Amino acid sequence: SVAYFNGRFVDSRDPVVPIDERGHQFGDGVYEVIRIYNNKPFMLEEHLDRLYMSAEAIALPFREARESFKAVIFELISRSNLTDLDVYVQITRGMAARNHLFPDCPVSISMTAKPFRSISAELREKGAKTILHPDERWTNCYIKSLNLLPNILAKQKAHEQGCLEAILHRDGKITEGTSSNVFVVKGGRVQTTPLSRHILAGITRMAVQRVAAELGVDFQEKYVDLQELYEADELFITSTTSEIMPVVQVDGKTIGIGEPGPVTRLLQKHYKKRTEGVSGE
Ligand code: PLP
């Protein structure tokens, strides 16, 4: 599949990144995953806002003008020959002999274009299982950093227990999933963790908030504790690639009636319309 590295379009299997690259050696960079539905990037401006913000937050001198950067993304999409795809974008502090201190070199920009990572229709229909896991990450999780070790370890643990995702908690409250935001539905009201340094401001979370407002569904930012999680009527997680995924089990305990609930279904339906360009975005 097609990829991009520092001004060149390449094949994603081509060996283009040298050993002395800070993304490779330190995870010293930031990234985005953007989904393209029927040739149209979904919430591209929001993803770019977050990318520039993340870069700034780690003092990464990413000065690429937004319009020329977008032109590269569009060229990648066009070269992929795909209409429905996921674009991965990564900016690192560049290529320099390994040394913790910031190097004096240009940043590295890499991208890949891949077909949609398939979402199991069965999971979407029946709902996913999850585990709880302590949030062992740093306190700057609002930055979409390449450093994902705690996320990887927790998600692998979930997988080994036959689950899709690990829901993370800190000080007795839910923060988010390892690669998703977490939502509880209680008494018809949708609740999710307030934005802070402890979670990523998910773009799908933002879309859910907009959809809820459109539908007149009550949306509340609230710290949810573990008891409230277990007692939820409905539970779902969101991300660019999993969209709105119903959750029916946490640590082996059934949530609600054990199937995706009506509020989750309603939000899913309207989110899908947005991705199809029918309403909103
Ligand atoms: N939280 C974390 C830690 C993530 O890694 C992700 C996405 O991968 C999300 C939340 C969801 O963000 P988005 O909806 O922008 O994909």
Q: How confident is the model at residue 117 (pLDDT cuts 50, 70, 90)?
A: confident
How far apart are the CA of 30 and the centre of ligand 1, in A?
13
Tell me the CA–centroid distance for residue 205 and ligand 1, in Å: 9
Are 43 and 281 in contact by the 8 Å Cβ rule? The answer is yes
What amino acid occupies position 199?
A: I
* 218 three-class SS: coil
Q: Has residue 258 got a pLDDT over 90?
A: yes
State how far the Cα of 51 lies from the Cα of 45, in Å rounded to an integer. 10
Q: What kind of architecture, by CATH, is found in domain 121-275?
A: Alpha-Beta Barrel (3.20)
pLDDT at 118 over 90: no
Measured from the CB, is residue 200 less than 6 Å from ligand 1? yes
Q: Where are the domains of the chain?
A: 2-115, 121-275
Q: What's residue 281's pLDDT?
A: 47
Identify the pLDDT of residue 279.
58
- The predicted model gives 98-104 an average pLDDT of 98
Q: Whose CA is nearest to atom 12 of ligand 1?
A: 202
CA distances from 257 to 120, 232, 260 (A): 21, 10, 8
Cα(203) to centroid of ligand 1, in Å?
A: 7
Q: Is it the case that residue 273 has pLDDT exceeding 90?
A: yes
Q: Classify domain 2-115 by CATH number.
A: 3.30.470.10
